[in-house]
Amino acid sequence: MKIQRHGAVLGLVAASALLLGACGSDNNTAAGGSTPASGTSVPVECGGKPKLNAEGSSAQKNAVDAFVQAYKAACPSADLAYNPSGSGAGVKNFNAGLVDFGGSDSALKDGAETEAAAKRCQTNPAWNLPLVFGPVAIGYKVSGVDSLVLDAKTTAAIFSGAVKKWNDPAIKALNSSAALPDKDIAVIYRSDESGTTDNFQKYLTTAGGWTKGDGKQFKGGVGEGKEKSAGVAQAVGSIDGAITYVEWSFAQDNKLSTAKIDAGSGPVELSAESAGKAIDGAKVKGEGNNLVLDLNSIYGTKAAGAYPLLLATYEIVCSKGYDADTAKAVKAFLTVAASTGQAQLAEAGYVPLPKAFQDKILTAVKAIA
C-alpha cells in the first residue's frame, strides 16, 4: 500500500526528541533535545542468516517495508519477511520461537509474557526496542459531520455502548454547532489481539474513567470486530455512522474524518504539532537496554494544544540466546532500521527516531549476543 504524507510530520520529530532523549529513568520528565537521525548511516556488519522472519504489529507494516528496502540496499544478499498479523500474534510467535523477532504496539507484560520470552531466549531476558512512533486517530464517518469533538469520558461511553446515538446529549454538549443525526453509532474495533487496542484502552482508563480494563483484546462489549489496522479503517470508510480507533496513517489513507480531543483545555485536532505538545510533558522509563516507554503521562495530559492519544511500536528481541547466524542478521537488520531505514518514515506517516534515542537503540542492538 502506497501512502503519501505531508511534510508536516517532520515537525513531530523535534518534539519527540524531548521525550526520547530523556529515556532511561523511571522518574525523568522530558527535557533537552537532540538532532533527528534523518537516515544517518552507521557501519553495518552484514551476513548470517540470509532471510529473517518477523511478525506482529500491523501498525508498523509500512515502516518495516522501508526498513527492509534499506536492509537489502546495505546487505544485498539479505532479506526479511514480515507478516503484519497483529501484536498479539507477534508476541506469541516470538515466544514460541517461530519468528526471529516480534513486533508489538505494547511492551511485553510482566509475568507470563516476559517469562515465556525469557524461556524462548534460552533463559535470557528479551528486550523491547521501540523503532516506530505515531499518533492514534479516533476515525469516523458521519454524513454531514465534518468536524467532531470528543473527550475521553464520552469516547469511553461510546466504545462501551453507553452512548448509542450520534445525537446523544453527551456528544451534543461537545458539539453544539454540529448537525448531529439521529443515527445509531456503529463501533468498529480490532478483533485480533492488538497493541493499538491496548494503548487505546489504557488511554480511556487514564483519561476517561474506562472500567472495562486494558489489554490486547477489545473489552468494550459492543460493536463489530475487524482484523488489523487496515480492516477497521476500511470498514469505517464504508459505513455511515461508524467510528473506530486506528493509527493516523491508516485513517489518512482511508480518508476518514478524525475527531478532535478535548482533554480539558479545549478541542485539539490531531496534527504533528499537537502530538508533539503531548510528548513534551511525557515521563519515560527504561532499564538498561530494555527500552520501555511510559505513555500514561501523555494519556492524562491537560496541556493546552496537546493531542494525548499516541503509541510506540516495539521490536521484541532476545538479548542473548540466538544462534550465531541469526544473531548476526538480527543485529544487521536492526542497525539499518535504526539508522538509514529511518529516512523514509516521515513520508509514511511515522516519526523518525531522534539522534539521542537512535544512539540508545544502536547501543542495545550492538549488545545482542
- Binding-site residues, please? 57-59, 87, 105, 194-196
Which residues fall within 8 angstroms of residue 162, CB to CB, at 6 or more apart? none
160 vs 120: CA distance, rounded Å = 37
- Binding-site residues for phosphate, please? 57-59, 87, 105, 194-196
Q: 66 near 28, Cβ under 8 Å?
A: no
68 vs 78: CA distance, rounded Å = 9
28 vs 264: CA distance, rounded Å = 24
Extract the C-alpha cell encoding 288. Answer: 538498561
**DSSP result, 169-234:** HHHHHH-TTS---S-B-EEEEE-S--HHHHHHHHHHHHHH---S--SSS--S--SEEESHHHHHHH
Extract the C-alpha cell encoding 219. Answer: 473489552
> Any idea which residue has 448509542 for its cell?
164
9: nearest Cα among 274, 338, 294: 274
At 355, the amino acid letter reads K
